[in-house]
Structure 1
Amino acid sequence: MTNLRDLALNARAWPFEEARKVLKRYEKKDPEKGYILFETGYGPSGLPHIGTFGEVLRTTMVRRAFEMMSDIPTKLIAFSDDMDGLRKVPTNVPNQDMLTAALNKRLTKVPDPFGTHPSFGEHNNARLCAFLDSFGFEYEFASSTDYYFSGKFDDALIRVLECYDNIQKIMLPSLRDERRETYSPFLPVDPDTHEVYQVPVLHTDPKNGTIVYRHPDGREVETPVTGGRCKLQWKPDWGMRWYALGVDFEMSGKDLIDSVKLSSRICETLGAPKPETLTYELFLDDQGQKISKSKGNGLSMEEWLTYAPGESLSLFMFHKPKTAKKLYFDVIPKAVDEYLVFLDKFPDEELERQIENPVWHIHNGKPPASEVPGISFALLLNLASVCNTEDKAVLWGFISRYVPEASPENDPMLDHLVGFALRYYQDFVKPTKSFKAPDATDLAAMKDLRDVLAGLPEHTSAEDVQTEVYEVGKRHGYENLRDWFKALYQILLGQEQGPRIGSFFALYGLADTIALIDRALAGEDLSAA
């Protein structure tokens, strides 16, 4: 019998590679805290976005890979930096004036512009948790506000105060000249206004656990660094958190490479080993710009899930985390179909191949049985296109004829895909359809194709139909057969590309395909249903 642990220890998929780094930390003895701690961070100054989800998903994949290799318990904390001051107003939220009036207050004291929670920070935290819960993630939510005010960070904050000068030596060379003059790891939090001050620290007293800072009004104020009266600048905060919690693994984006280096040095200065880290490439919008919470550019999680199942989003996140990827609506159909292909392959693969298959990681080793009977998302999109419909029953009429045993009741996954395809077609395909008028070569080839299809049995296989379409293209002198298929897509579907045309003709039905070709040959407007 194959040992799954041995396979995991040698598997090449990136979650296993990262998990082996964590395992190596405890070759000699188990962690004193009794578990391996994976952490993800969230800055709730803007609404949760798809990159936040990707970080939790990818970290979970590493966590599950580790659990295949070791019996040491694991824990994942989703940590929200909600003690941060609101430094700028996100452009994608309502009540901008209200937020502008609350600038510099800690996020858990900034009013909620949506009016559903006591604060903007709590609103965004709730949005994050609701989304993560909907995917069934196993995690513990942690609030920076809670950790600072409850005293959970008090010992670590005193330790930062003890190491104040050494931390300054780490941080100051990374800052601009003007910033160095006033920089301190500690940011006093005004107990009355709840503002998070970026002000000079004039004196530190580790024995009494206090600092003296210059208030914006010019006064010198002494305050404890514990109990929520101060928070740390985010790079020292990150290093302090790793030290205080004993974080073993955290990933972050390419834009934080220098921050990871500084925070790692701070963590080690405080007296703890830095965590294992993974730097992932950033998601880009359709213009090649970095996706931003405050700008709201790129795809949101809700938008992706309007047009495709969550598993396709998980697959998109799984692929090549160290490679930059554009994240916009055009990538959705490909992600859906790739997921279906991987799911279909899984049952017939050997175990060592299964644990390399993305669906193993997406479904924690237990992917569901594939319910889709050889029908791709691209095929459904083209079926919706030629039918020009918003009615699922219309598409199911063709599907049931193509696969008689299929039904919405027996194949709920396929039924969901039908709904997604209709929405995607209406919003993204239909508005861009542009039909080409056939030229003389196209007309001759299409007449030939029509006659060939008319001579085939109605239930000819998709592969045989594809072969016949190829042969017609060859007979009519298309130098590149891709030009022949492109012409069919443009003339019959009003699109530049599509799925295998033989599969589409088989799904649509040869009789209906012949009727569609006849309409095109007659010069009818195919943009109408």
Structure 2
Amino acid sequence: MTLAAAAHTFAAFPSINPFAGMRPIMTVDRRLAAEAKAWPFKEAQDLAKRLDGKLPAKGYVLFETGYGPSGLPHIGTFGEVARTTMVRRAFEQLTGMPTKLIAFSDDMDGLRKVPDNIPNQELVRGALGKPLTAVPDPFGTHASFGAHNNARLRAFLDAFGFDYEFRSATDCYRAGAFDDALRRVLERYDEIMKVMLPTLGEERQKTYSPILPVSPSTGRVLQVPILSYDAAAATIVFQDEDGTTVEQPVTGGRAKLQWKADWAMRWVALDVDYEMYGKDLIPSAELSGKIARILGGRQPNGFAYELFLDAEGQKISKSKGNGLSIEDWLRYGSPESLSLFMFQQPKRAKRLYFDVIPRAVDDYYAHLRGFHAADEPAKTLENPAWHIHGGNPPAGEPPVGFSMLLNLASACNAEDKSVLWGFITRYAPEATPETQPDLDRLVGYAVNYYQDFVKPQKRYKLPDAAERAAIEALAARLGDLPADATAEAIQDEVYEVGKAHGFENLRAWFKLLYEVLLGQEQGPRMGSFIQLYGRPETIRLIEDALAGKFATA
């Protein structure tokens, strides 16, 4: 997906996002919140303990997420902001303290390479090394490439209904918001170097400086040694690209910090209380924590989440492109199901691939059902639905589950939503796309998933004589059932036919039905499926399958 196309994708999200109206409507007993064991509440409890019940002098508790705007927001961006939002909501319920979430863009970093998926690459190539906010916008829509990508980030976060304040590193540096902290870096320069140098290779040690000057001649962010510095004057001396020796202030956006020092400085300057990061950044967070203490501050409470794995169990890599994009997920599953995936076991490495989506969609509705059925308030705080919806999950659920819709799509080879709706309205006459918008979304997801993943893999089996006799007997039994037969009654008939035809292991009987009728090894509870699909239609499906109209093996 190109950066320009992403704007249209993100714009389609607002009406279906789970984070709209971020502030929780339902208030819980703080005693229950203090005892809740769901991980967002455990994180909130740890943060409350760190603060010792006292509101920070700034007047709020600050949560932060960071973003590198050299490319599009991605599924990891969603995961980090969604999880942080879950902890924030739990903390508010636990303490009643006001909070803020800052989405911080590291847009003063120098552009290291030209992205492959942008137009006008030569325009950008001529600005390599400059801060992203000084690189021309290859799309021609914003003042800079950094501004363009920041706008995409905000559109992305807004589309999902996140409540946040956007901060730009460039703005903070240039407006002087970091000046005091930068002066402190110079005052404690040698201490910071003692922390950083042992972590670097021998050659890098010779040129390393936590401070990166911005060249007054080219505007590039320079990776050069600092020849000397004056802490009292807040100036540094370095060799510019043209070979001249330059002395200039570190304040006012004329220098920035290397990222580990920058991370620490930001924690101190903004007084950040909580920030998440991937497991791969644990060593960096530890180093930044040491630097934060040197600067007179402290490392915020943190949460190191595990990274995602691809279909083969390998770590997802942007360069390999072996991951699942957020656009991919939202073609086949709801934002709520994606939020559930992010909620579940964040400290365990999980496969993030297409085949996890159907279960996540159905599991979401199972949790929603469990939330409203809970007989004790404490149980609701452990339910993922509480955290997905900020304590106020919607009532009700679609009359047909996602897995059943997938099987229905498979049985009727659905090309569009209208085919499935024809069966649904007969099964649930009161349901329409207008009265059941959630169900209509699921129908669309099911058609997309069936067409892209199920249909290409269908392999129908042609039964042998004994198997054929059993399936013919099932068709006859279905024809004899009364018109108002329940799903349970139909299921019982399916069981009885399997037993009568020698299937001691009924799993083998159902597997046979799935392979012959649906072209797949796994499938639905047959009684419910037949009731939804229709007994006459199922009998016709059996007749076509036995006639060899589908068989591929």
Instruction: Verify same fold: TM over 0.5.
Output: yes
Give the partner amino acid of 1:205. D
8 A contact 1:309–1:336 mirrored in 2: yes
Change in Cα spacing, 1:333 to 1:70, as seen in structure 2 (3 Å) is same
SS at match of 1:389: coil
The aligned length equals 525
2:396 pairs, out of 370, 373, 381, with 370
Aligned to 2:207, the other structure's residue is in SS state: coil
Secondary structure of 1:25's aligned partner = helix
Q: Cα offset for 1:429? A: 1.8
- Does 2:453 align with 1:428? yes
Partner of 1:130: 155
Q: Which position in structure 2 is the counterpart of 1:465?
A: 490
Shift of 1:89: 3.2
Shift of 1:432: 2.2
Conserved in 2, the CA contact under 8 Å of 1:91 and 1:294? no
Aligned equivalent of 2:478? 453
Name the counterpart of 1:355: 381
TM-score by length of 1: 0.95
SS at 1:142 equivalent: strand
1:63 to 88, 91, 108: 88
Asked whether 1:344 is paired with 2:392, we answer no
**Residue of structure 2 in register with 1:234 after alignment:** 259
Moved more, 457-466 or 408-417: 457-466
Give the one of 272, 279, 303 matched to 2:304. 279
On the 8 A contact 1:459/1:506 being kept in 2, the answer is no
Which whole-Å CA distance do the structure 2 matches of 1:28 and 1:397 have between them?
57
Which whole-Å CA distance do the structure 1 matches of 2:198 and 2:528 have between them?
62
Residue identity opposite 1:298 in structure 2? G
Task: Kindly indicate whether residue 410 of structure 2 is the aligned counterpart of residue 391 of structure 1.
Answer: no
Matched residue, 2:463: 438
> Is the 1:443–1:521 Cα contact (8 Å) retained in structure 2?
yes
User: Which residue, 51, 71, 78 being the options, matches 1:46?
Assistant: 71
- Alignment check: 8 A CA contact 2:459 2:551 kept: no
> Aligned pair 1:500/2:525, yes or no?
yes
Matched, 1:475 2:500: yes
Whole-angstrom distance in 2 between the partners of 1:320 and 1:160: 38
In the alignment, which residue of structure 1 is the partner of 2:220?
195
Percent sequence identity over matched residues?
A: 65
Alignment partners' CA distance in 1, 2:96 and 2:166 = 23
Q: Comparing 79-88 with 290-299, which one deviates more in the overlay?
A: 290-299
Counterpart CA distance in 2 for 1:322 and 1:29 is 29
1:299 aligns with 2:333: no
Q: What amino acid maps onto 2:290 in structure 1? A: R
Could you tell me whether the CA contact under 8 Å between 2:461 and 2:551 is conserved in 1?
no
Classify the secondary structure of the residue corresponding to 1:212. strand
Report the Cα distance in structure 1 between the residues aligned to 2:441 and 2:53, rounded to whole angstroms: 49
With structure 2 as the length reference, what TM-score do the two structures score? 0.91
Please give the alpha-carbon distance, in whole angstroms, between the structure 1 residues aligned to 2:364 and 2:454: 21
The 1-side partners of 2:472 and 2:91 are apart by: 60
1:383-440 CA-partner distances (Å, limit 9, x unpaired): 1222223332221121111122222222111111112211222222222222222233
Report the alpha carbon displacement of residue 234 of structure 1 after superposing the two structures with TM: 0.4
1:441 and 1:322 map into 2 onto residues whose CA distance is 50
Contact 2:311–2:353 at 8 Å: present in 1 too? yes
| Residue of structure 2 equivalent to 1:256 | 281
User: 2:304 is paired with a residue of what secondary structure?
Assistant: strand
Q: Report SS of the residue matched to 2:382.
A: coil
Distance 1:412 1:79 in 2: 35
Determine if contact 1:343/1:367 at 8 Å carries over to the other structure. yes
Worse-superposed segment, 271-280 or 437-446: 437-446
CA contact (8 A) 1:90 1:294 kept: no
Moved more, 417-426 or 235-244: 417-426
In the other structure, the counterpart of 1:210 is 235
> For residues 289 and 227 of structure 1, what CA distance do their matches in structure 2 show?
44
What amino acid is the match of 1:131?
F
- 1:298 Cα offset (Å): 1.5
Using the TM superposition, name which of 472-481 and 263-272 deviates more: 472-481
In the alignment, what sits opposite 2:336?
A: 311
Deviates more, 1:449-458 or 1:252-261: 449-458
What's the CA shift string for 1:170-189, capped at 9, x where partnerless? Answer: 11111111111111001111
Cα distance, 1:281–1:47 mapped onto 2, change above 3 Å: same
Q: Which amino acid aligns with 1:102?
A: A
What corresponds to 1:245 in structure 2? 270
**Are the counterparts in 2 of residues 104 and 196 from structure 1 also a CA contact under 8 Å?**
yes
CA drift at 1:229: 0.7
